[in-house]
C-alpha cells in the first residue's frame, strides 16, 4: 500500500509541473514579459522532446536489461526539481529557454520510468483503478498548483518557486518508497524486433495521432484563451481549473470502466470524441468555452488513464520499460508535430484569432485519422 500511495502521489507532482510550467505560467512569461513569441517556446519545447526520444529508447533498453527503471526514475525526478528551483534566479529570454530545454528533457524521461513502474505496484486486475486514481490526483495537483501560484504570488519568480516546492513535496514519497524490487538481468531485444510486431506498431501510430491533439491542448490552451477570447492570467487559470475539476472527477470513473472492459476497448471510444471536442472549441465563444474545457478535462483524464493500461495489457513483462520508451516516441513525436503545425499556422496566418482557430481545425484531423488506425490494431 505504501508503494502504491507513493506512486500515485507522483502523478500529483508531475501534473504540478505540466500545468504550471508547460501549460500556463512559463509560456505566458516567455510571451508577455520576456518579449518572446509563441514559436520561441514551441520550437524549444519540440527540440527538448526530440532529444528525449533518442535518450529514452537507449535508457529504456538498459532499464529492462539491468533492472534500472526505479533508479533512473529517481535520477530524473531530482534533476527536474533542481532546475525548477533555478528558474527563480533566471531573468533573460534565452537563459529561460535553455533551462526549460533541460528541465523538460528530464521531465519527459521521468515519465517513461514512472509509467513502467505501474506493473511493480499493482496487479493486472487493479491497473485501471490505480491508474485512474493517479490521474485524478494528478489533476488535483494541477488545480492546486495553478490556484496557489496565481493567487499567492506577485511575480513569475515567486510562481516558479511555489511550483518547485509543491513538486518536491509530492515527489519525495516516490523517491523514498517506489522501487522495482527486481535486479535480475532481463532479455535484450532490438528495435527491429519491435517493428516486426505489427499490432504494437499500429498501437504506437494510433497513440501518436491521438495524443498529437492532446498535447496541442496542453501546450497552447493558455495562449488560445488569451489571444482568441482576451482572457487575462486569472481567466486562463480559472478555465483550466474548471477542466481540472472534471478531470479529477472522471479519472477514477474511467479507471473503473477500464478495469471492467479493458484499456484497449475503452481507448477505442476516445478517438472520435477528441475530434468532436476540437470542433466545439473552434465554434465556441467566451462563454461556451467553459463547457468545452469540461469536455477536454474529461477526455484528457480518460486518455492518460487508458493508454498506459492498454500498453501493459498486451506487452511481455520483460519488455515493459522499453515499450513505454517506444510509446514515448509516439507520444513525444506528437509533442513535436502539433507545436510545429500550430506554429506554422500562426506564422503564416498571424498571431490572431483566425490563425489560432485554423490551428485548432488542423489538430482535429489527427485523432480522426488515429481512429481508423486503431480499428486495425483491434482486428
pLDDT at residue 191, rounded to an integer: 62
Query: What is the average per-residue pLDDT within 122-147?
Result: 83
* Residue entry with cell 536489461: 65
Q: For residue range 282-330, what is the model confidence (pLDDT) as tens digits? A: 998 888 989 999 999 999 889 989 998 999 888 877 778 888 888 877 7
Maximum mean pLDDT: which of 43-47, 59-63, 74-78, 249-253: 74-78
Cα-based distances in Å from 155 to 9, 145, 161, 282, 365: 28, 15, 10, 32, 38
pLDDT at residue 335, rounded to an integer: 67
Cα-based distances in Å from 240 to 185, 228, 255, 296, 315: 44, 15, 22, 10, 34
pLDDT at residue 374, rounded to an integer: 94
Cell for 333? 513525436
* The pLDDT of residue 184 is above 60: no
**For residue 373, what pLDDT band results from cuts at 50, 70 and 90?**
very high
**For residue 28, what pLDDT band results from cuts at 50, 70 and 90?**
confident
Q: For residue range 315-368, what is the model confidence (pLDDT) as tens digits? A: 877 778 888 888 877 776 766 788 788 888 888 888 788 888 888 888 898 899
Cell for 293? 474545457
246 vs 182, residue with greater confidence: 246
Q: What is the distance between the alpha carbons of residues 365 and 69, in angstroms, rounded to a whole number?
A: 35
Q: What domains are defined for the chain? A: 2-173+196-378 (1.20.1250.20)
Query: What is the average per-residue pLDDT within 132-142?
Result: 85
Cα-based distances in Å from 300 to 1, 140, 180: 26, 13, 28
pLDDT at residue 10, rounded to an integer: 94
pTM: 0.77
The percentage of residues in the chain with a pLDDT greater than 90, rounded to a whole number, is 32
Single out the residue of 116, 98, 131, 7 nearest to residue 62, CA to CA. Answer: 116
Please, are residues 18 and 84 in contact by the beta-carbon 8 Å criterion?
Answer: no
Q: What is the distance between the alpha carbons of residues 87 and 102, in angstroms, rounded to a whole number?
A: 12
Q: For residue range 49-77, what is the model confidence (pLDDT) as tens digits? A: 888 888 988 898 888 888 888 999 999 99
DSSP single-letter state for residue 286: T
Q: What is the distance between the alpha carbons of residues 101 and 290, in angstroms, rounded to a whole number?
A: 31
Cα-based distances in Å from 133 to 4, 21, 126, 138, 302: 10, 23, 11, 8, 11
DSSP labels, 165-201: HHHHHHHHHHHHH------S------HHHHHT-HHHH
**Other beta carbons less than 10 A from residue 377's beta carbon:** 21
Please, are residues 14 and 110 in contact by the beta-carbon 8 Å criterion?
Answer: yes
* The pLDDT of residue 124 is above 60: yes
Amino acid at each position: 500500500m505504501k508503494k502504491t500511495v507513493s506512486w500515485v502521489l507522483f502523478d500529483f507532482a508531475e501534473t504540478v509541473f505540466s500545468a504550471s510550467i508547460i501549460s500556463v505560467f512559463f509560456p505566458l512569461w516567455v510571451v508577455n514579459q520576456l518579449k518572446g513569441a509563441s514559436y520561441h517556446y514551441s520550437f524549444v519545447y519540440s527540440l527538448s522532446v526530440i532529444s528525449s526520444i533518442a535518450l529514452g529508447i537507449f535508457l529504456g533498453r538498459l532499464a529492462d536489461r539491468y533492472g534500472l527503471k526505479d533508479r533512473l526514475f529517481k535520477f530524473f525526478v531530482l534533476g527536474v526539481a533542481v532546475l525548477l528551483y533555478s528558474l527563480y534566479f533566471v531573468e533573460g529570454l534565452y537563459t529561460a529557454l535553455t533551462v526549460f530545454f533541460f528541465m523538460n528533457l528530464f521531465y519527459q524521461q521521468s515519465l517513461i520510468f514512472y509509467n513502467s513502474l505501474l506493473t511493480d505496484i499493482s496487479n493486472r486486475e487493479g491497473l485501471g483503478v490505480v491508474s485512474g486514481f493517479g490521474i485524478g490526483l494528478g489533476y488535483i495537483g494541477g488545480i492546486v498548483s495553478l490556484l496557489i501560484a496565481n493567487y499567492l504570488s506577485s511575480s513569475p519568480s515567486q510562481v516558479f518557486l511555489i511550483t518547485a516546492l509543491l513538486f518536491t513535496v509530492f515527489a519525495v514519497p516516490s523517491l523514498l518508497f517506489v522501487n522495482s524490487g527486481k535486479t535480475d538481468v532481463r532479455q535484450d531485444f532490438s528495435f527491429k524486433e519491435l517493428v516486426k510486431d505489427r499490432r504494437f506498431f499500429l498501437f504506437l501510430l494510433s497513440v501518436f495521432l491521438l495524443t498529437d491533439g492532446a498535447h496541442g491542448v496542453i501546450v497552447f490552451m493558455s495562449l488560445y484563451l488569451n489571444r482568441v477570447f482576451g482572457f487575462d492570467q486569472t481567466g486562463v487559470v480559472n478555465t483550466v481549473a474548471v477542466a481540472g475539476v472534471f478531470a479529477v472527477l472522471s479519472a477514477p470513473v474511467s479507471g473503473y470502466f477500464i478495469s471492467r472492459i479493458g484499456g484497449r476497448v475503452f481507448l477505442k471510444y476516445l478517438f472520435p470524441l477528441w475530434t468532436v471536442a476540437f470542433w466545439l472549441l473552434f465554434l465556441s465563444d467566451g462563454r461556451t468555452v467553459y463547457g468545452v474545457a469540461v469536455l477536454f478535462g474529461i477526455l484528457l483524464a480518460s486518455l492518460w488513464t487508458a493508454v498506459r493500461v492498454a500498453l501493459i495489457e498486451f506487452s511481455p513483462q520483460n519488455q515493459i520499460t522499453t515499450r513505454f520508451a517506444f510509446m514515448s516516441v509516439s507520444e513525444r513525436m506528437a509533442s513535436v508535430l502539433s507545436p510545429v503545425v500550430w506554429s506554422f499556422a500562426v506564422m503564416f496566418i498571424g498571431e490572431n484569432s483566425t490563425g489560432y482557430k485554423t490551428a485548432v481545425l488542423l489538430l482535429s484531423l489527427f485523432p480522426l485519422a488515429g481512429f481508423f488506425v486503431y480499428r486495425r490494431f483491434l482486428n
